[in-house]
Each structure stands twice: as C-alpha cells, then as structure tokens.
Amino acid sequence: MNTLPETRWNRRAIEKQRRLARVAGLARGAVLPTHSITQALQQLLNPGDRVVLEGNNQKQADFLARSLARADPGVLHDLHLIMPSVSLPQHLDLFERGIARRLDFSFAGAQSLRISQLLQDGRLEIGAIHTYAELYARLYVDLIPDVVLVAGYMADRQGNLYTGPSTEDTPVLVEAAAFRNGIVIAQVNQVVDDPGELPRVDVPGSWIDFVVQADRPFFIEPLFTRDPRLIKPVHVLMAMMALRGIYERHEVRSLNHGIGFNTAAIELILPTYGEKLGLKGRICRNWALNPHPTLIPAIESGWVESVHCFGGESGMEDYVAARPDVFFTGADGSMRSNRLLCQLAGQYAVDLFIGSTLQMDGQANSSTVTKGRLTGFGGAPNMGHDPGGRRHATPAWLSLVEGQDGLARGRKLVVQMVETFQEGGRPTFVETLDAVQVGQDTGMPLAPVMIYGDDVTHVLSEEGIAYLYKARSLDERKAMLAAVAGVTPTGMRSDAAQVRRMRSEGLVAFPEDLGVRRAEASRSLLAAKSVADLVEWSGGLYKPPARFRSW
C-alpha cells in the first residue's frame, strides 16, 4: 500500500487508504478471514456510507448481509443501502437495528410487507424505487457507492472472481466502486490458492479489494421454475391465441417472457400446436430470458437459436452447460448471465415483451402493487415499454406502423396476458389501480404503475385479444379493452353491437376469429405435463430442486 500525498482532488483515494490500513492486521493479502468479517466490516465502513449490497433475484451476498447485521449500531449506523433486490429477512434486520437508514431498491418480493411497516415506523427511508437499469445507471451518476458487497462461487487470493452461472448484476455493481476509489468485498463459497484453479474470471482481481470465504454457500432460489402440472386448460387456450393472434401475425422472432403459468404454457405448446401451425423457424428464435425449465421441450425440438439470460436457475446448470449453441457459456462450460445486458436486450433488441399483472385499469395501466406492499417492479417497466430511442427495424416492429406519415415509426410489442379474474375471485380489470392509493398513502412522488397503458399494444385474456395499438381514440381504446374484460365490472359495460363492429374491423379478436378451437385447448397440448416430463425431455440433465421433485 503506497501512501498518497493528500490534495484537494483525491479525498476518496486517501479515505480508501485510511480504511484499508485499519484492516491491515486482519487481512492476508486480499483475503479476509471468515470469523472476523463483522469486525472487518466495522473497520472498512463508516457511518452514513452508501453501500451496495448484492441482493439479486437468484444470488445473494447473504453471508455479508448477516455479518453486517451483527455489527454494533453504536459504531456503524445510518448506512444508505442500494440493493437491486431486497430478498432476505437479514436485509431488513439492518434497518431494525439502526445500522441502515435509507434504501434505494428495485424489487422486494417476499419482504415488501415488512418494508412498508418499517417505513411507517420511521425506521426506514426510501430514496427511490427504481427499475434495474436506472439503479445501475445511478451508481455512475448520483448514487456512487462507497462500498460494494457482492457474492460469487470462487475467488483466488488475488481477488479474481468466478461468479458461477448467476453472474447477474455483479460486474456492474463492482465497476462503480472499483473505478471510484470505493471498496469492493466479495463473499465466495471457496477461496483457491492457484489462479489456475478458477474455472474462469468473471471480474478481474484488480477490481476487488477483498474476498472472504462464506460460512456456507450463498442462498439461491429457483424463482423461475413453474410446475407444468399447475397449468390449466384456460392457460392453454390463451397460449394458443398468443401464438396465432400475436406471434404468427406479427412474425415475432425475438422475445422476452415474463414468469408465470401463462407464458409457461406458450413455451410448452411450441413443439405441439406451434409445430402443427408450421411456425418453427419463423417465430420465437432468439430469447432474452432466464433459463426457464419449461423452455426445454422447445429447445430440444430445435425451435430456439439463442437464449441470453438475466441470471441462472437452480437445477438448470448441467442442462445449460450441455447446450452451448443455445446459451451463453464460458470457456469452462458454465453459463455466463448478465442482468444488465439482458435488460438492454429485452428493452432494445427484442420484438416482444409479454407479461402479466394483478390489476389493469380501463386505460390498460397496470400494476402488481397492492395495499400494504411496496414491491417494486425489477425490470418490467423497461422491457414493457416502447423505447423511443430505438432506430432499427424488424418485421414485427414495422407491422405496428399505423398510417402513411413520412415520419412513421414502428413499435415494440408490449403484451399483457391476464385472466379476467385473479385467484379468490378478484377482478383483474378494475376502475382504479390500488397503486394510486398506495402511492398517496406512502407519500411517493408518483403512483407505482408497472406498465403504462399507452405502452401496451395488446391485451390478451381468455376472452380474446384487444389490439390496442390500433385504437384511434381513448374511447375506442377503452371499448376494446372492455370487450376482452369478461364479466368484470369493466367488461359488463361492453356493448354487443360495438364488439361486433370491432371484431369485423380487426380491433378485437375472439378465439374463433383467430381459428383457435376452444375444444382443442386442453392440457394434452402441453409438451411436458410435469416436472418429471421436463427432466425426461432434458435427458436427465435438468436437476429440479427438492421442492419440485414430488413425483
């Protein structure tokens, strides 16, 4: 460690030098000992620091989170945490104990209720709820971190890091501190002596200050696995409509699927219904997607040219490694994912985003936020909007041009696929989104809308498809939406004569308008009907996590 002369312009470098000196007695080179990590964190962090903690969809810096939560709040307090995903109880223990005070995040999931409670209790302040892309961007502008805590599989003693298949956010989080005199600490499942023992390097050692071997492997959750046994005939019907009325009609070649039984059904009828329609090779070739197990039959049947992944998925490691022509893998054979690049791909490079929501209002604004929960939306708002900055064309994108204007441009297909009623009988189509009230109650500067109606091009329900991009007025848009809203209050306002006109004009399509036979919509169209079937399709390469091994 060389000693810098202090100037007006290197305060961060001097401060870093000071902090590193504090742990000189603890660290062996770049390796911090497991048992003294809490002590090291107390010495490397200052109260009020801006700290990025890798909470991700799959990979969690859980050992570092737990160790930080054991710090003395008298020593370490008022941290400003920046987290892509707040997933673990320990993340919020940090606020309960006063170690952290302020939070910027993108997605909360299971912890969303507790975030709302801590907010009400005044123990937590929210900076903003971002999408992933924004959160990463602000790390380079006005949320530059002092300390970054991440997770990987393996590191050598110089800090070279192998993240494993769930690279996810790690590189973009690390870069922000590594090149700004911040401090980067990576927990790993294993520290190896010889750089040659690393399968590959995902983040160079010169970007990382310290590695520490965790007390146990990091926590990982199979978030993107859907059991085909739970797919119902109504999902199959909707999937058939999606293929005929959207994918085939617009020649959708590249796409992103949100997670859910609806989109899983689409994936699973490609090798059956899709094959029968002669669509193989014409649609669904290039994907921006987590490695969904339900995509296995389509891959094995030769539908899929490429899949770039946000993150990994438990149980899919061996399958992905054995399909390098389809997935992005390293020289070592294991997958390389990258949430930033996959977000960019999902925003700018694909023809279609298709997702689901809990509520949609009469103008097609939608949100998954319900009372008492601050969930955030991860990447949905980025992928579920028409990026005005796009300048390249594809057949699907151009197929949405309406009118003859010399300045006309295409549009990204943004599809919402919803059943008219949620479980428990709550209507999906509502007068006003709960999100509006939640926004007001929690003092948010704007209502937490996931996808704005003016970005939605198609709404697909079990009733039919509303081609919203064709609407010539707000009233027509509302009428189109009502036509597919079934017996919800929104749907009940629909007028039969108007619906007939809209069907004949191609503004709305019901299954029979698309040549979709309702009688055919059964589970027998699913290429795999259970997790066991998926394992079989994969030739035993897919190894489902215990909770899905119920056969």
Beta carbon nearer to a copy of itself, 67 or 85: 85
Beta carbon nearer to a copy of itself, 423 or 475: 475
Asked whether position 390 contacts a copy of itself by CB under 8 A, the answer is yes
Asked whether position 409 contacts a copy of itself by CB under 8 A, the answer is yes
Binding string, residues 253-272; x marks residues near a copy of itself by CB under 8 A:
xx------------------
The tokens for 2 are 């060389």
What residues from 413 to 432 belong to the interface with a copy of itself (CB under 8 A)?
A: 432
Beta carbon nearer to a copy of itself, 216 or 391: 391
Cβ–Cβ < 8 Å for 32, 185: yes
Please give the angle made by the CA atoms of 278, 505 and 356, to the nearest 5 degrees.
Answer: 60
Beta carbon nearer to a copy of itself, 8 or 216: 8
What residues from 146 to 185 belong to the interface with a copy of itself (CB under 8 A)?
A: 160, 172, 175, 178-181
Asked whether position 371 contacts a copy of itself by CB under 8 A, the answer is no
Beta carbon nearer to a copy of itself, 45 or 172: 172
Distance of alpha carbon 521 from alpha carbon 273, whole angstroms: 10
The least distance separating a copy of itself from the CB of residue 455, rounded to whole angstroms, comes to 6
Distance of alpha carbon 278 from alpha carbon 326, whole angstroms: 21
SS3 label, residue 213: strand
Total residue count of the chain as it appears in this document: 551
Helix, strand counts (H, E) of the chain: 21, 19
Beta carbon nearer to a copy of itself, 57 or 67: 57
Q: What is the DSSP letter of 123?
A: S
Cβ–Cβ < 8 Å for 514, 460: no
Beta carbon nearer to a copy of itself, 140 or 551: 140
Asked whether position 9 contacts a copy of itself by CB under 8 A, the answer is yes
Q: What b/e string do you get for 93-130 counting C-beta neighbours within 10 Å, with b at 16 or more? A: bbbbbebbbbbbbbbbbebbebbbebbeeeebebbebb
The residue to which tokens 């507790």 are assigned:
114
Measure CA 251 to chain center: 25
The tokens for 204 are 């160079």
Size of the site for a copy of itself (CB under 8 A): 95
Cβ–Cβ < 8 Å for 91, 53: yes
Instruction: Read off the amino acid at residue 195.
Output: P
> Interacting stretch for a copy of itself, rule CB under 8 A, among 2-10, 231-239, 267-275, 463-471?
2-10
Distance of alpha carbon 263 from alpha carbon 110, whole angstroms: 22
Asked whether position 119 contacts a copy of itself by CB under 8 A, the answer is no
Asked whether position 386 contacts a copy of itself by CB under 8 A, the answer is yes
Longest dimension (CA), the chain: 81
Q: What is the DSSP letter of 419?
A: -
What residues from 126 to 145 belong to the interface with a copy of itself (CB under 8 A)?
A: 128-131, 133-134, 136-138, 140-142, 144
Beta carbon nearer to a copy of itself, 90 or 170: 170
> Interacting stretch for a copy of itself, rule CB under 8 A, among 94-102, 218-226, 376-384, 462-470?
376-384
Instruction: Read off the amino acid at residue 520.
Output: E
Q: From edge to edge, which strands make up the β-sheet containing 306-308? A: 306-308, 286-288, 254-257, 352-355, 413-417, 458-460, 465-466, 508-509
Cβ–Cβ < 8 Å for 481, 364: yes
> Interacting stretch for a copy of itself, rule CB under 8 A, among 64-72, 317-325, 464-472, 512-520?
317-325
Beta carbon nearer to a copy of itself, 75 or 474: 474
Cβ–Cβ < 8 Å for 466, 481: yes
The least distance separating a copy of itself from the CB of residue 349, rounded to whole angstroms, comes to 4
Beta carbon nearer to a copy of itself, 138 or 229: 138
What residues from 236 to 255 belong to the interface with a copy of itself (CB under 8 A)?
A: 253-254
Residues ≥6 apart with Cβ < 8 Å to 257 = 263, 266, 267, 287, 289, 292, 354, 355
> Interacting stretch for a copy of itself, rule CB under 8 A, among 85-93, 112-120, 374-382, 492-500?
374-382
Beta carbon nearer to a copy of itself, 90 or 538: 538
What residues from 190 to 209 belong to the interface with a copy of itself (CB under 8 A)?
A: 200-207
Binding string, residues 76-115; x marks residues near a copy of itself by CB under 8 A:
----------------------------------------
To the nearest 10 degrees (0 to 180), the angle between helices 233-242 and 261-269 is 70
Distance of alpha carbon 208 from alpha carbon 163, whole angstroms: 13
The least distance separating a copy of itself from the CB of residue 310, rounded to whole angstroms, comes to 11
The least distance separating a copy of itself from the CB of residue 290, rounded to whole angstroms, comes to 14
What residues from 268 to 307 belong to the interface with a copy of itself (CB under 8 A)?
A: 285-286, 288, 305-306
Binding string, residues 433-452; x marks residues near a copy of itself by CB under 8 A:
x--x--xx----xxxxx--x
